[in-house]
């Protein structure tokens, strides 16, 4: 992420709560770095609008919260028109009767007047739209190079609802207003609908125990997470030789790690971290830590790769099942059986290398094996994907919603590796070995021949 210095934040209206379940979140982060999937953009000549296909472009350099923002880049011409719609993932309809405000953060690199700002209108699940409302009426000024919170009462849209069903709104449109024939760019972040009650003014605690390790071209940061369910994430700041600290990244609330790629060796600097909550209250910065990138020999390089691989399976595992996620970022409930087999072997390596204690590794794997014991099975085999909280099958495809022998084989290889490694007298290790044996012996390999005389095992 390109370094971004936030000198001040102008707050207009009431602050929206970041992580409240009752908020309608139309955009907070895009899973992909090029375009935001639940969006749709159109343009009629001679107006111009930047699009990625028909999708809203994503920007990773100018960001208020998270890893990216939306880039609205347009030129409005007389006789033309454009619109850029954003929806919540899944395109659901929302009842606006439970909310009070439409809020979003806005950033302009150039000079904009109120009249230059786009119109906003809403669309329901039946594609009926409200009349447009100009943003400029709700913005006192547009400071260049600063993030600014815009709050628009939803009553404004009720007054121009027309045939739109305000109990089933699925998209927010940004659209052409003044035809000034000038090129403009706005960055948009944290687009949501919220209620008056979703705000507090108390900042979270300061993150503690910030640590840093320098590698060849990047720095790994870690810290003790703040024990506050309202924490929405962590901001990471860097300073060169103790000068001004600049924002360089953001970490999700459940991931107290950050990898900062610098691209140079022997580059020194200082880092600090803050916690930010759902109402955008930011803690004081943590104590600083100094670190330098440094050349690595082959042994150090391989050690770095092993630690990073281990971290994916240890720190990014599903919180309930402890199984490996299919991908990150991605669906936070979809876990993979074959990938979990790789993860089990990574944990064995981690215990042997001292990345975690042997007892912690054994306890983690016993918990994972206990989950596998209750998960859906098909003649002993597990499905390719399953729900990490319930163990129920998540279909891999239309006809792939049962046992997957290839994925099961990968998983069993990991289970048997752990069964062999954890051979101590400790009760946890003994329980792990016993359960590993039960899981292994529970797979009916011969059933997957399909016929008693077949010389082959079938995938499904």
**Distance (Å) of CA 250 to CA 24, 57, 313, 350, 372:** 22, 20, 21, 27, 34
The residue to which tokens 């999708």 are assigned: 55
Task: Give residue-wise pLDDT tens across range 179-212.
Answer: 999 999 999 999 999 887 666 788 999 999 999 9
Confidence of residue 452 (pLDDT cuts 50, 70, 90): confident
Q: Tens digit of pLDDT for each residue in 2-45?
A: 333 333 333 333 333 343 437 899 999 898 889 999 999 999 99
* Tokens 């609205």, located at residue: 72
**Three-class SS state of 63:** coil
133, pLDDT greater than 50: yes
On the question of pLDDT at 79 being above 90, the answer is yes
Domain boundary among 276, 295, 314: 295
Rounded Cα–Cα distance for residues 5 and 235 (Å): 12
pLDDT over 70 (residue 230): yes
Residues 14 and 159 in one domain: yes
User: What are 455's two structure tokens?
Assistant: 């010389």
Contact 278, 232 (CB under 8 A): yes
Buried b (16+ CB within 10 A) or exposed e, 235-260: bbbbbeeeeebebbbbbbbeebebeb
Q: Is residue 444 part of a domain?
A: yes
Residue 199 resides in a domain: no
For residue 374 the two structure tokens come to 């209750």
Nearest to 71, CA basis, from 35, 43, 100: 35
CATH of the domain at 135: 2.60.120.430
Rounded Cα gap, residues 366 and 432, in angstroms: 5
Please indicate, yes or no, whether residues 278 and 378 belong to a single structural domain of this protein. Answer: no
| DSSP codes of every residue in 57-112 | EEESSS-SSSS-EEEEEEE--TT-EEEEEEE-TT---B-GGG--EEEEEEEESS--
| Angstrom distance (rounded) from CA 365 to CA 323 | 9
Report helix, strand or coil for 100. coil
Average per-residue pLDDT in the chain? 90
Looking at the structure, do residues 132 and 220 belong to the same domain, yes or no? no
- For residue 419, being part of any structural domain is answered with yes
Same domain, yes or no: 435 and 323: yes
* 213 in the same domain as 65: no
Asked if residue 5 is part of any domain, the answer here is no
Q: Residue 241 — very low, low, confident or very high, per pLDDT cuts 50/70/90? A: confident
What is the arithmetic mean of pLDDT over 320-334? 87
- Specify whether 73 is located in the same domain as 147: yes
pLDDT tens readout for residues 271-318: 999 999 888 899 999 999 999 999 999 999 999 999 999 999 999 999
User: How far, in Å, CA of 258 to CA of 67, rounded?
Assistant: 12
138 and 2 in contact (C-beta within 8 Å)?
no
Q: How far is CA 350 from the centre of its chain?
A: 26
* Amino acid 237: pLDDT: 95
313 shares a domain with 250? no
Backbone Cα Rg of the chain: 26
The confidence band for 345, taking pLDDT boundaries of 50, 70 and 90, is very high
Whether residue 52 sits in one domain with residue 156: yes
Look at residue 419 and give its three-state secondary structure.
helix
Domain end call among 295, 318, 337: 295
> Is residue 327 pLDDT above 50, yes or no?
yes
The CATH number for 214's domain is: 2.60.40.10
67-78 in b/e form (b: 16+ CB < 10 A) is bbbbbbbbbbbe
**Residue-level pLDDT at 15:** 37
Question: Peptide bond before 416: cis, by omega within 30 degrees of 0?
Answer: no
Query: Domains in the chain: how many in total?
Result: 3
Quick one: 308 and 286 in the same domain?
no
Between CA 26 and CA 211 the distance in angstroms is: 35
In this structure, is the dihedral angle defined by the CA atoms of residues 397, 401, 405 and 408, taken in order, positive or negative? positive
Decide if 227 is inside a domain. Answer: yes
What are the φ and ψ backbone dihedral angles of 250, each rounded to 5 degrees?
A: -145, 140
Residue 198: per-residue pLDDT: 61
- Concatenated DSSP letters of 75-86: E--TT-EEEEEE
Q: Decide if 180 is inside a domain.
A: yes
Q: Could you say which of 194, 227, 243 is where a domain stops?
A: 194
Same domain, 312 and 440: yes
**Structural domain contains residue 459:** no
33 phi, psi to nearest 5 deg: -90, -5
Beta strands in 169-253 (DSSP E): 169-175, 183-194, 208-214, 218-224, 231-239, 246-251
Question: DSSP label at 411?
Answer: H
pTM of the model: 0.72
Do 265 and 310 lie in one domain? The reply is no
CA 344 vs. chain centroid, Å, equals: 24
| Residues in the chain, overall count | 460
Assigned domain for 203 exists: no
Residue 211 φ/ψ, nearest 5 degrees: -130, 155
**266-270, 385-389, 397-401, 410-414: range with lowest mean pLDDT:** 397-401
| Residue 79, phi-psi category: left (phi > 0), alpha (psi -120 to 50), beta (remainder) | left
| 169 pLDDT higher than 50 | yes
| Residues 177 and 214 grouped into a single domain | no
- Domain of 311 in residue numbering reads as 300-449
Contact 261, 217 (CB under 8 A): yes
pLDDT of residue 175: 97
- Distance between alpha carbon 275 and the CA centroid of its chain, in Å? 16
Query: Is 255 a residue whose pLDDT tops 90?
Result: no
Q: What is the pLDDT of residues 392-444, one digit of tens each?
A: 999 988 778 899 999 999 999 999 999 999 999 999 999 999 999 999 999 99
């Amino acid at each position: 992420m390109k370094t971004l210095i936030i000198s001040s934040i102008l707050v207009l209206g009431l602050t929206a709560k970041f992580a409240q379940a009752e908020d309608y979140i139309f955009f907070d982060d895009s899973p992909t770095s090029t375009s935001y999937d639940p969006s749709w953009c159109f343009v009629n000549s001679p107006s111009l609008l930047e699009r990625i296909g028909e999708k809203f472009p994503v920007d990773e350099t100018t960001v208020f919260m998270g890893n990216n923002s939306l880039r609205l880049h347009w030129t409005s011409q007389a006789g033309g028109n454009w619109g850029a719609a954003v929806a919540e993932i899944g395109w659901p309809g929302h009842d606006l009767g439970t909310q009070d405000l439409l809020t979003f953060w806005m950033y302009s690199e150039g000079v904009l007047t109120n009249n230059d700002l786009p119109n906003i209108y809403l669309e329901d699940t039946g594609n009926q739209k409200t009349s447009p409302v100009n943003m400029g009426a709700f913005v006192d000024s547009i400071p260049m190079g600063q993030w600014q919170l815009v709050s628009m009462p939803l009553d404004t849209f009720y007054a121009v609802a027309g045939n739109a069903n305000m109990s089933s709104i699925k998209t927010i449109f940004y659209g052409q207003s003044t035809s000034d024939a000038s090129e403009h760019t706005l960055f948009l972040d944290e687009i949501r609908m919220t209620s008056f009650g979703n705000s507090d003014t108390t900042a979270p605690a300061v993150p503690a125990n910030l640590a840093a390790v320098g590698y060849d071209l990047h720095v790994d940061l870690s810290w003790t997470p703040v024990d506050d369910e309202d924490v929405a994430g962590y901001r990471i700041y860097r300073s060169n030789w103790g000068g001004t600290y600049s924002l360089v990244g953001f970490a999700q609330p459940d991931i107290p790690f950050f990898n900062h790629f610098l691209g140079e060796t022997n580059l020194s600097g200082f880092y600090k971290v803050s916690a930010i909550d759902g109402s955008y209250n930011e803690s004081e910065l943590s104590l600083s830590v100094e670190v330098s990138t440094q050349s690595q020999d082959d042994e150090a390089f391989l050690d770095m790769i092993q630690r990073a691989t281990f971290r994916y399976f240890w720190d990014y595992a599903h919180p309930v099942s402890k199984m490996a996620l299919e991908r990150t970022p991605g669906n936070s409930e979809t876990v993979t059986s074959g990938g979990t087999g790789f993860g089990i072997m990574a944990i064995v390596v981690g215990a042997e290398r001292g990345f975690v204690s042997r007892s912690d590794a054994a306890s983690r794997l016993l918990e994972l094996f206990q989950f596998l014991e209750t998960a859906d099975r098909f003649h002993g085999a597990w499905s390719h994907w399953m729900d990490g909280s319930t163990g129920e099958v998540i279909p891999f495809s239309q006809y792939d919603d049962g046992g997957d022998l290839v994925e099961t084989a990968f998983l069993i290889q990991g289970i048997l590796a752990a069964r062999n490694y954890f051979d101590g007298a400790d009760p946890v290790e003994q329980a792990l070995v016993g359960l590993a044996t039960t899981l292994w012996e529970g797979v009916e390999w011969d059933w997957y021949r399909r016929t008693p005389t077949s010389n082959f095992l079938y995938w499904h």
